[in-house]
């Protein structure tokens, strides 16, 4: 899933390899997917994109935006984006394929669910997109201790669990269930702990963990459970994920466990993260 670090990494890679390329042809919804979301009519994407030049890529929370003159492509959630060199074998299934004039290609494939949206600049009013553009990223200085204090001490947050507080309702766009696990592990907070039980020290530790964990994941090219623009897994080795399930915690030696919670899964260390 595209979360804050992966969006940042993909944007950097696109800026390095795609800027200046001109779109030759476009194929949309080649492999229909029930949970692939499009803006407007997908059949209009080809006319919107053909002949456009890639100018820049930006990351807004967990949203990757590719700018092509006055047109934008917005990719979110479970979209896997991959760059293909000239004559490289292409995947059989994809929801968006863009071929450039130099014959290189990028494909976007929806995994569980995801959005592939193409629109003229200023014409997209999706609330999640607008919130992601507006709110500060933890990778920036605008996500300050004072800003976080307002979030965590808000009265309406006190009965929410740590997971619900951090990873729902776009309070911190792009901070999803994937990066949540290591953030809470580093802060030694159980995902089910109520916000009202956090001490002042724990609030400060949680803020530091959000900033430092997301920065480390980004600098290492994303999580090892996700892939970058070239199909390579990220260099950050997740501490809590499917890759570490059942193993012993490196800090206390207790077990890493997985439980169902809030319609998804949580991973935690039974020793370090007391409920």
Q: What is the pLDDT of residue 275?
A: 86
- 92 lies in the same domain as 54: yes
CATH classification at residue 41 = 3.20.190.10
pLDDT per 10-residue tile (average), the chain, 275 residues = 96 98 97 93 95 98 97 95 95 97 97 94 93 96 98 97 96 97 98 98 98 98 97 97 95 95 95 92
Residue 227 lies in a domain: yes
DSSP assigned state of 156: G
The Cα–Cα gap between 124 and 66 comes to 14
CA 100/CA 237 separation, integer angstroms: 34
Q: Are residues 43 and 157 in the same domain?
A: no
Report the domain count for the chain.
Answer: 2
Q: Do 162 and 263 have their domain in common?
A: yes
Listed residues 111, 134, 157: the one ending a domain: 134
Task: Tell me which DSSP letter residue 43 carries.
Answer: G
Whether residues 188 and 265 share a domain: the answer is yes
Burial 64-85 (b: 16+ CB within 10 A, else e): bbbbbeebbbbbbbbbbbbbbe
Residues 93 and 20 in one domain: yes
Residue 73 vs residues 102, 107, 121, 191, 270: alpha-carbon distances, Å: 20, 13, 10, 34, 42
Judge if 169 and 91 occupy the same domain: no
> Are both 204 and 171 inside the same structural domain?
yes
What pLDDT shows up at residue 77?
87
224 contacts: CB under 8 Å, gap ≥ 6 = 233, 234, 235, 236, 237, 238, 241, 243
- Give the Cα separation of 218 and 61 in Å (integer): 12
Do the domain assignments include residue 162?
A: yes
Of 99, 134, 169, the one marking the end of a domain is: 134
Please give the residue range of the domain that contains residue 129.
4-134
């Amino acid at each position: 899933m595209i979360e804050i670090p992966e969006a940042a990494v993909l944007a950097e890679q696109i800026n390095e390899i795609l800027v200046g390329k001109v779109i030759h042809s476009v194929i949309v919804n080649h492999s229909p997917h029930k949970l692939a979301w499009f803006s407007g009519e997908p059949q209009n994407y080809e006319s919107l994109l053909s002949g456009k030049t890639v100018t820049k890529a930006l990351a807004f929370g967990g949203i990757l935006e590719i700018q092509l003159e006055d047109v934008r492509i917005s990719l979110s959630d479970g979209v896997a984006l991959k760059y293909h060199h000239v004559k490289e074998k292409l995947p059989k299934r994809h929801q968006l394929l863009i071929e450039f004039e130099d014959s290189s290609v990028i494909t976007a494939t929806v995994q569980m669910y995801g959005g592939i949206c193409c629109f003229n600049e200023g014409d997209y009013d999706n609330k999640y997109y607008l919130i992601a553009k507006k709110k500060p990223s933890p990778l920036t200085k605008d996500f300050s201790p004072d800003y976080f204090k307002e979030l965590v001490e808000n009265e309406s947050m006190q009965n929410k669990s740590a997971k619900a507080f951090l990873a729902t309702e776009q309070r911190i766009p792009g901070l999803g269930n994937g990066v949540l696990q290591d953030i809470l592990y580093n802060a030694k907070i159980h995902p089910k702990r109520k916000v009202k039980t956090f001490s002042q020290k724990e609030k400060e530790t949680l803020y530091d963990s959000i900033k430092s964990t997301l920065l480390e994941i980004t600098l290492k090219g994303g999580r090892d459970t996700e892939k970058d623009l070239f199909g390579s897994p990220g260099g950050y080795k997740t501490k809590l994920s499917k890759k570490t399930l059942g193993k012993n915690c490196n800090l206390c030696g207790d077990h890493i466990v997985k439980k169902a919670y809030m319609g998804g899964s949580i991973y935690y260390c039974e020793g370090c993260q007391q409920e």
